[in-house]
């Protein structure tokens, strides 16, 4: 058997609202997979995000756009598991379900942008996140604020020197990654442009843009 066949699975979860998915999410997921030599990146829309207001369109519609956006991109998966659960979508529960599916030896990563990372200490069961997975922070333009002290405490002693050091263990580490292509695209800006009838070309995959325009999503009524 080849070494690769016996090596533990390496996978990441990139959770979010995906309201809607844009090229900042998708390009980050592709580059994250390359940087950590992951088998797969699961993009997982939250049915009900705990720390923000109600999304603008239904979970099933956000998932449909995500599927269109991913298309046949190797190693990216639109994962519907949070849509099957009732109540707030806690990442700790999602990671527990991935851990159960892929086993104790799998290298499991929870990836998030620097803006989301800044609020990590406020999440449900933050210590449990590290028991289940590594946390990998993706640099994002315009989001460079210093860390709050509760977050400094949460991450103390967890920082790994590089990807290989992180992947030597199944969970519990922290890595900050500056991926090659940093994109200043946000779903908020995309929604605002759509509401004002402005172009969103090249901010989203064409198939995602086409479905949004066809269905009149995010238009101001
Ligand atoms: P909104 O503007 O509605 O807050 P968003 O563009 O930040 O949305 P989310 O669905 O909230 O998108 O993001 C999901 C995850 O992807 C978060 O961890 C977020 O930090 C990260 N992310 C979003 N956009 C980018 C980007 N352009 N570059 C890197 N990471 C990103």
CATH numbers and ranges of domains, the chain: 3-184 (3.40.50.620)
Residue-wise pLDDT tens digits, 143-202: 778 899 999 999 999 999 999 999 999 999 999 999 999 999 999 999 999 999 999 999
Establish whether residue 140 lines the binding site of ligand 1, counting it when its CB lies within 6 angstroms of any ligand atom: yes
- For the chain, which ranges sit under pLDDT 50? 1
> Beta strand 107-113 with 134-138: parallel, antiparallel or unpaired?
parallel
Task: Tell me the Cα Rg of the chain.
Answer: 17
Identify the burial level of 139 via C-beta atoms within 10 angstroms of its C-beta, where 0-12 means exposed, 13-18 middle and 19 or more buried. middle
Reduced to 3 states (helix: H, G, I; strand: E, B; else coil), residue 44 is strand
Establish whether residue 18 lines the binding site of ligand 1, counting it when its CB lies within 6 angstroms of any ligand atom: yes
Establish whether residue 55 lines the binding site of ligand 1, counting it when its CB lies within 6 angstroms of any ligand atom: no
Q: Under a CB-based contact definition with an 8 Å cutoff, are residues 156 and 128 in contact?
A: no
* Atom 30, ligand 1: residue with shortest CA distance: 113
Query: Ligand 1: which of 47, 53, 116, 192 to mutate, judged by most atoms within 8 Å of the beta carbon?
Result: 116
Establish whether residue 185 lines the binding site of ligand 1, counting it when its CB lies within 6 angstroms of any ligand atom: yes
* Percentage with pLDDT > 70 across the chain: 97
């Amino acid at each position: 058997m080849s070494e690769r066949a016996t090596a533990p699975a390496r996978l990441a979860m990139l959770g979010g609202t995906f309201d809607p998915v844009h090229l900042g999410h998708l390009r980050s997921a592709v580059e994250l997979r390359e940087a950590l030599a992951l088998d797969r990146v699961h993009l997982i829309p939250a049915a009900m995000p705990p720390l923000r207001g109600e999304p603008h369109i239904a979970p099933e519609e956000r998932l449909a756009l995500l599927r269109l956006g991913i298309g046949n991109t190797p190693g990216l998966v639109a994962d519907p598991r949070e849509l099957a659960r009732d109540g707030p979508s806690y990442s700790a529960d999602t990671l527990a379900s991935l851990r159960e599916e892929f086993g104790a030896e799998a290298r499991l990563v929870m990836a998030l942008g620097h803006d989301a990372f800044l609020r990590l200490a406020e999440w449900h069961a933050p210590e449990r996140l590290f028991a289940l997975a590594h946390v990998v922070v993706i640099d994002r333009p315009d989001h460079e604020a210093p860390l709050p002290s509760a977050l400094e405490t949460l991450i103390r002693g967890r920082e790994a020197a590089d990807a290989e050091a992180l992947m030597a263990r199944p969970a519990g580490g922290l890595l900050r990654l500056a991926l090659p292509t940093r994109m200043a695209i946000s779903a908020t800006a995309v929604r605002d442009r759509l509401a004002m009838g402005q172009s969103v070309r090249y901010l989203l995959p064409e198939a995602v843009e086409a479905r949004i325009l066809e269905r009149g999503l995010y238009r101001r009524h």
